């Protein structure tokens, strides 16, 4: 390894100054909570809490957790410590400590429990870290390599930042390492003119379904897969030595990406910052590709850009959640305009179901959603359900006692052992703000229709009051009986709508319970027997024959004029052959043999002299002519 002592000295001085400033400033210098605005919340948000570390400056970093209602359930002002804030194993969390340039794990009191890679001399990169089940972990250190880049337009003593990927066990033994320059040459970068050359700028990794390692290199807009056996490069996707045919309409590919994720099914998901080259839209997105590593194709199957066409020059993250939603942190979007970035959750239809905007100049590198139980629980060490990994006490501690004498131990479900009227299964008093039966909330009594299939469904209702109304569709066949039909109910007589072939339809709003009705013909003759159905959901009944529970017998052959598509077959009722043609006597092509009109009639052209009422000159005087007349009614002629 090649390290640069001067560079480390400068960094040490800088970090020392930061620490000095922080040490001279007491807590009154800093806001204790990050400012934010709730833009959207919804019951469609995935369960859990969103953890992140919003950054406004080195002194204004916060470790935060927001619940589904966008309430800040945990917050710690954490100068120079943060960037990423995530669980680490069962009982710890991890974040990056800028003052020592190392990853640090902490307990539920945010007390450091370990410094990852402490034995490594070079600085640890702050972009990503990964813990395996055995406690070993992956991280990257930055190795400064002196190189003569004059032949590439650079300087003679350039310092090239080489990412060194390290797999280390809990005893700080290096299990495997990967050197960037051994696999990707410095010439992969298109700009080598600076004194300090960050030619790859590694910023994320993920383990894929086969154990391979996906590496994101921002400065060459490329994702590379490392083989799980020897960490050699299997393939590259993106701008540098791309191995795939990329199908990504209107975008071409991704640019300056962050946070690559393997989501299964040969698909990857990443945050595309899209620092535009002039060929893509000038805003950021998240994008999902399906990879075929046999045919070597990468096909965009989904992407999302914010309705406000947010552009994030740097940072950003994306996570596919268990319910299919997608969580997005928009990096440093809006910071250039003096505003704060957004964190957004969308459903699989692309609709925003949860969103906040941080205060001015705040950025969020990464956001992740985790179970609430990893943040909240019992923190009392004397409790039977003590959890030494949670950050917030939620009042759920129990101790195996019955302090209020109600006959139930707090460990058996008594959620308030100071009040004998409160225990598991106790009578609940609605709307008093007290959870007497310990089911998690006070019962709010809102009587109304709570059936989601009802026409008058009220989602806020907690008690069904029997007022639900359901759409009932009934049909009766009057083809053989002749005439029209009406529906007779206890609410009155409802005329039917003639659908076709003598069938009449009725749409009724009926309440839950027994619904009694009869059909009646146009001579006011009702059916011989009442009909009855039980209503508890929307219903659409089959066509029945008048005075029968079955379909009418009839002709089911469309080649006869007696054809009735709603009937059951009775060949004896097919009497008259159907002859299609024009049946209008005044038509030029009137067919005397036709008994069913097929719409082919032709009429002679007419003028105002012989048919003055035919305003549209179609050969007949009809409704269209009347509409034309009424449109001109009242016109003043000069």
Q: Give me the mean pLDDT over the 90-118 stretch.
A: 95
Give the separation between CA 517 and CA 525, rounded to whole angstroms.
Answer: 14
Give the separation between CA 521 and CA 500, rounded to whole angstroms.
Answer: 16
Q: Is 257 exposed, middle or buried (0-12, 13-18, 19+ CB in 10 A)?
A: buried
347 contacts 44 by C-beta, under 8 angstroms: yes
Give the separation between CA 227 and CA 178, rounded to whole angstroms.
Answer: 12
Three-state SS letters, 173-215: CEEEEEEHHHCCCHHHCCCCCCCEECCCCEEEEEECCCCCEEE
Q: Which residues of 289-304 are buried (b: 16+ CB within 10 A; e: fewer)?
A: bebeeeeeebbbeebe
> Residue 31 has what pLDDT?
62
| pLDDT tens, residue by residue, 407-443 | 999 999 999 999 999 999 999 999 999 999 999 899 9
Give the separation between CA 531 and CA 26, rounded to whole angstroms.
Answer: 82
> Residue 68 has what pLDDT?
96
Q: Report the number of secondary-structure helices (H) and strands (E) in the chain.
A: 2, 44
Give the separation between CA 474 and CA 541, rounded to whole angstroms.
Answer: 5
Q: Give me the mean pLDDT over the 85-96 stretch.
A: 94
| pLDDT tens, residue by residue, 595-613 | 778 788 888 765 555 677 7
Among 438, 360, 453, CA closest to 395? 438
Structure tokens at 271: 């945050």
Task: Answer left, alpha or beta for residue 336, where phi above 0 means left and psi between -120 and 50 means alpha.
Answer: alpha
Give the separation between CA 263 and CA 286, rounded to whole angstroms.
Answer: 13
Strand ordering across the sheet containing 92-97: 81-88, 92-97, 102-106, 112-116
Backbone angles phi and psi of 618, in degrees to 5: -100, 5
**How many percent of the chain have pLDDT more than 70?**
90
> Residue 605 has what pLDDT?
67
How far is C-alpha 216 from the geometric centre of its chain's CA atoms? 24
**Sequential DSSP letters for 103-149:** EEEE-TT--EEEEETTT-SSPBPSS--EE-TTS-EEEEEEEEEEE--
Q: Give me the mean pLDDT over the 55-60 stretch.
A: 93
> Residue 564 has what pLDDT?
77
User: Max CA-CA distance within the chain?
Assistant: 108
**Sequential DSSP letters for 599-625:** S--------TTT-TT-TT-SSS--HHH
Sign, CA torsion 144/145/150/156:
positive
| pLDDT tens, residue by residue, 556-595 | 888 787 777 777 777 677 888 888 888 888 888 888 888 7
> Residue 635 has what pLDDT?
67
**Sequential DSSP letters for 519-546:** EEETTSPBPSS-EEEEESS-EEPPPEET
Among 317, 67, 100, 334, CA closest to 206? 317
> Residue 404 has what pLDDT?
94
Q: Is 129 exposed, middle or buried (0-12, 13-18, 19+ CB in 10 A)?
A: buried
Give the separation between CA 227 and CA 235, rounded to whole angstroms.
Answer: 9
Give the separation between CA 74 and CA 47, rounded to whole angstroms.
Answer: 16
Among 116, 197, 182, 121, CA closest to 152? 197
Helix (H) or strand (E) holding 476: strand 469-477
pLDDT confidence band for 2 (50 / 70 / 90)? very low
Residue 26 has pLDDT above 70, yes or no: no
322 contacts 369 by C-beta, under 8 angstroms: no
Given the structure tokens 């540098």, which residue do they identify?
A: 240
479 contacts 521 by C-beta, under 8 angstroms: no
| pLDDT tens, residue by residue, 34-44 | 999 999 999 99
90 contacts 108 by C-beta, under 8 angstroms: no
Give the separation between CA 354 and CA 344, rounded to whole angstroms.
Answer: 6
**Bridge partners (DSSP) listed for residue 303:** 287
Give the separation between CA 218 and CA 223, rounded to whole angstroms.
Answer: 8
Lowest mean pLDDT among 116-125, 330-339, 523-532, 569-578: 569-578
Give the separation between CA 320 and CA 298, rounded to whole angstroms.
Answer: 19
Q: Give me the mean pLDDT over the 493-501 stretch.
A: 88
> Residue 631 has what pLDDT?
67
| pLDDT tens, residue by residue, 260-317 | 999 999 999 999 999 755 666 789 999 999 999 999 999 999 999 999 999 999 999 9
Among 568, 528, 577, 576, CA closest to 548? 528
Give the separation between CA 335 and CA 358, rounded to whole angstroms.
Answer: 10
> Residue 148 has what pLDDT?
96
370 contacts 379 by C-beta, under 8 angstroms: no
**Bridge partners (DSSP) listed for residue 463:** 447
pLDDT confidence band for 97 (50 / 70 / 90)? very high
* Domains with residue ranges and CATH for the chain: 5-374 (2.120.10.30), 377-384+393-444 (no CATH), 446-575 (2.60.40.10), 579-638 (no CATH)
Give the separation between CA 588 and CA 606, rounded to whole angstroms.
Answer: 13
Mean pLDDT across the chain: 89
Query: Which residues have C-beta within 8 Å of that of residue 447, sequence separation ≥ 6?
Result: 461, 462, 463, 464, 465
> Residue 539 has what pLDDT?
95
> Coil, strand, or helix at residue 317?
strand
Strand ordering across the sheet containing 342-346: 36-40, 352-358, 342-346, 326-329, 317-320
Question: Higher pLDDT residue, 478 or 14?
Answer: 478
Residue 526 has pLDDT above 60, yes or no: yes
562 contacts 549 by C-beta, under 8 angstroms: no
Structure tokens at 51: 């953890």
């Amino acid at each position: 390894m090649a390290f640069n002592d001067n560079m480390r000295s400068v960094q040490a001085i800088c970090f020392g100054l930061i620490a000095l400033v922080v040490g001279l400033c007491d807590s009154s210098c800093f806001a204790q909570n990050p400012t934010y605005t709730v833009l959207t919340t919804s019951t469609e948000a995935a369960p859990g809490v969103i953890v992140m570390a919003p950054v406004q400056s080195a002194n204004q970093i916060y470790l935060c957790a927001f619940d589904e209602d966008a309430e800040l359930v945990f917050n710690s002002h954490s100068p120079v410590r943060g960037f990423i804030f995530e669980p680490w194993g069962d009982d710890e969390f991890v974040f990056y400590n800028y003052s020592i340039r190392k990853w640090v794990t902490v307990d539920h009191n945010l007390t450091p429990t370990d410094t990852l890679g402490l034995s490594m001399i070079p600085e640890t990169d702050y972009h990503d870290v990964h813990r395996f089940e055995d406690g070993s972990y992956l991280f990257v250190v930055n190795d400064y390599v002196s190189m003569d880049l004059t032949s590439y337009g650079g300087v003679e003593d350039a310092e090239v930042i080489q990412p060194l990927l390290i797999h280390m066990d809990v005893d700080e033994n290096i299990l495997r390492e990967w050197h960037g320059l051994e696999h990707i040459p410095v010439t992969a970068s298109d700009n080598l003119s600076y004194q300090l050359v960050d030619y790859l700028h590694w910023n994320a990794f993920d383990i894929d379904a086969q154990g391979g390692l996906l590496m994101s290199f921002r400065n060459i807009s490329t994702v590379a897969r490392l083989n799980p056996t020897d960490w050699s490069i299997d393939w590259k996707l993106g701008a540098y030595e791309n191995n795939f045919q990329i199908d990504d309409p209107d975008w071409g590919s991704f640019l300056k990406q962050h946070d690559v994720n393997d989501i299964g099914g040969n698909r990857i998901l990443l945050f595309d910052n899209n620092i535009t080259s002039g060929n893509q839209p000038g805003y950021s997105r998240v994008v999902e590709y399906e990879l075929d590593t046999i045919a070597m194709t990468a096909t965009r199957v989904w992407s999302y850009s914010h309705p406000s066409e947010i552009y994030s020059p740097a940072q950003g993250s994306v996570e596919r959640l268990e319910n299919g939603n997608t969580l997005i942190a928009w990096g440093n979007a809006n910071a250039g305009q003096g505003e704060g970035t957004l964190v957004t959750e969308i459903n699989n239809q692309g609709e925003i179901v949860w969103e906040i905007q941080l205060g001015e100049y705040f950025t969020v590198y990464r956001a992740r959603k985790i179970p609430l139980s990893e943040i909240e629980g019992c923190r009392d060490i004397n409790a039977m359900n003590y959890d030494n990994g949670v950050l917030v006490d939620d009042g759920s501690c129990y101790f195996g006692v019955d302090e209020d004498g109600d006959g139930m131990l707090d460990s058996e479900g008594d959620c308030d052992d100071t009040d004998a009227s409160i225990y598991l299964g106790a009578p609940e008093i609605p709307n008093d703000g007290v959870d007497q039966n310990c089911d998690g909330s006070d019962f709010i009594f809102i009587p109304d229709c709570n059936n989601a299939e009802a026409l008058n469904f009220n989602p806020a209702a907690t008690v069904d009051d029997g007022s639900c109304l359901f759409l009932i569709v009934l049909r009766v066949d009057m083809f053989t009986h002749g005439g029209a039909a009406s529906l007779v109910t206890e609410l009155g007589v409802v005329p039917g709508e003639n659908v076709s072939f003598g069938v009449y339809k009725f749409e009724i709003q009926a309440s839950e319970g027994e619904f009694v009705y009869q059909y009646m013909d146009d001579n006011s003759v009702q059916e011989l027997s009442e009909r009855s159905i039980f209503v508890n959901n929307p219903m659409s009944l089959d066509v029945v024959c008048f005075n029968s529970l079955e379909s009418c017998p009839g002709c089911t052959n469309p080649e006869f004029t007696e054809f009735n598509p709603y009937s059951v077959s009775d060949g004896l009722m097919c009497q008259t052959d159907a002859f299609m043609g024009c049946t209008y006597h005044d038509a030029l092509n009137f067919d005397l043999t036709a008994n069913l009109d097929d719409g082919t009639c032709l009429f002679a052209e007419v003028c105002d002299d012989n048919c003055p009422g035919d305003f549209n000159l179609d050969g007949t005087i009809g409704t269209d002519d009347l509409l034309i007349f009424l449109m001109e009614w009242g016109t003043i002629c000069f």
